[in-house]
């Protein structure tokens, strides 16, 4: 009889959707690690029937079920879950006559994320790109020695306004901490490189990501990551004998010989 091994080296995809919904699961992108944690509280009844003591009875009660996930890709829905955020999409558009206060050595942040700035003007005076101003990621800055800087300096303490015409990019807007956390269902679709070399999947019915997560926005050593903890909450809709209210694992079996 062949030796049957059940060792595991798993790779796979983590996906999520709103808990209780029938929506398709959306990908979470690459995650470096997924860990389940189950915490228990031990109740012990001291044995007082003998002078030596001991434990008369003991029981462990579940106090929490959790997931630890190290996210390495940040799709908008992932950021929304991590940051308890509401999200919206702003389509690309064109904008004229957007007025801003200009300053030397400062960035004028435009209302929308610019794709291309066509004109910066003050009344009938227009300023030239590269000579007078340059576009930055979210707006524009004055060029030292340029006409815009000179005009701002000439204005002295008086505010110097410019109007900007530009086309903007399509963006997702993520407003952090605007809700108390979405309840999400996670699906892990994995495959085992060892043992049976078959598939394995896990469903975590009702989860809430903890926003107390550090994200390395700037790092010279590694790609950006966010190690997040997640509470797996009991899902009361999962009823029936031997049905888990927390999570379920399915592992594919080898074909019968």
Partner 1 sequence: MTSKSTAPAAGQSAASEKAAGSIEVKLAKPHTHNRQEHAAGKTIKVTAAERDFLISVGVVADPKEA
Which positions touch partner 1 (CB under 8 A)? 93-99, 111, 118-119, 121-128, 131-132, 146-147, 151, 154-156, 158-163, 165, 167
110 vs 182 by CB, closer to partner 1: 110
- In angstroms, what is the minimal distance from the CB of 114 to partner 1? 13
- In angstroms, what is the minimal distance from the CB of 118 to partner 1? 4
132 vs 235 by CB, closer to partner 1: 132
- In angstroms, what is the minimal distance from the CB of 130 to partner 1? 10
98 vs 201 by CB, closer to partner 1: 98
Nearest CA to 185 out of 70, 21, 38, 39 is that of 21
- In angstroms, what is the minimal distance from the CB of 107 to partner 1? 18
Q: What DSSP string describes 14-82?
A: EEEEETT--PPPEE---EEEEEEEEEEEEEEEE--SSTT--EEEEEEEEEEEEEEEEE----HHHHHHH
As a whole number of angstroms, the distance between CA 84 and CA 65 comes to 20
79 vs 119 by CB, closer to partner 1: 119
- In angstroms, what is the minimal distance from the CB of 160 to partner 1? 7
Per-residue burial over 104-134, b = 16 or more CB atoms within 10 Å of its CB, e = otherwise: eeeebebebbbeebeebebeeeebeeeebbe
83 vs 148 by CB, closer to partner 1: 148
As a whole number of angstroms, the distance between CA 237 and CA 21 comes to 12
Are 91 and 173 in contact by the 8 Å Cβ rule? The answer is no
36 vs 126 by CB, closer to partner 1: 126
Residues 238, 244, 250, 256: is their CA dihedral positive or negative? negative
24 vs 145 by CB, closer to partner 1: 145
- In angstroms, what is the minimal distance from the CB of 115 to partner 1? 10
As a whole number of angstroms, the distance between CA 181 and CA 217 comes to 22
- In angstroms, what is the minimal distance from the CB of 182 to partner 1? 29
Are 208 and 41 in contact by the 8 Å Cβ rule? The answer is no
Name the phi and psi angles at 31, rounded to 5.
-120, 135
Secondary structure of 131-162 in HEC code, one letter for each residue:
CCEEECCCEEEECCCCHHHHHHHHCCCCCEEE
């Amino acid at each position: 009889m062949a030796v049957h091994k059940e060792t595991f080296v798993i790779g796979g995809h983590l996906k999520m959707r709103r808990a209780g919904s029938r929506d398709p699961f959306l990908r979470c992108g690459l995650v470096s690690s997924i860990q389940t944690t189950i915490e228990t509280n031990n109740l012990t009844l001291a044995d007082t029937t003998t002078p030596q003591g001991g434990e008369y009875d003991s029981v462990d009660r579940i106090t929490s079920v959790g997931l630890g996930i190290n996210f390495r890709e940040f799709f908008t829905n992932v950021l929304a879950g991590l940051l308890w955020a509401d999200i919206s999409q702003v389509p690309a558009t064109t904008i004229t006559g957007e007025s801003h206060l200009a300053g030397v050595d400062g960035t004028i942040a435009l209302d929308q994320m610019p794709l291309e700035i066509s004109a910066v003007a003050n009344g009938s005076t227009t300023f030239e790109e590269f000579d007078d101003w340059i576009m930055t990621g979210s707006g524009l800055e004055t060029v030292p020695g340029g006409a815009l800087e000179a005009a701002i300096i000439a204005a002295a303490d008086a505010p110097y306004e410019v109007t900007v015409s530009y086309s903007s990019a399509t963006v997702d807007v993520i407003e952090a901490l605007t809700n108390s956390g979405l309840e999400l269902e996670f699906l892990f679709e994995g495959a085992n490189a060892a043992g049976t070399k078959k598939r394995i999947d896990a469903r975590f019915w009702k989860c809430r990501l903890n926003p107390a997560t550090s994200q390395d926005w700037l790092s010279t050593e590694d790609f950006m990551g966010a190690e997040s903890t997640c509470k797996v909450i009991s899902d009361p809709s999962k009823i029936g004998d031997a049905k888990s209210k927390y999570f379920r694992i399915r592992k594919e079996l080898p074909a019968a010989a």
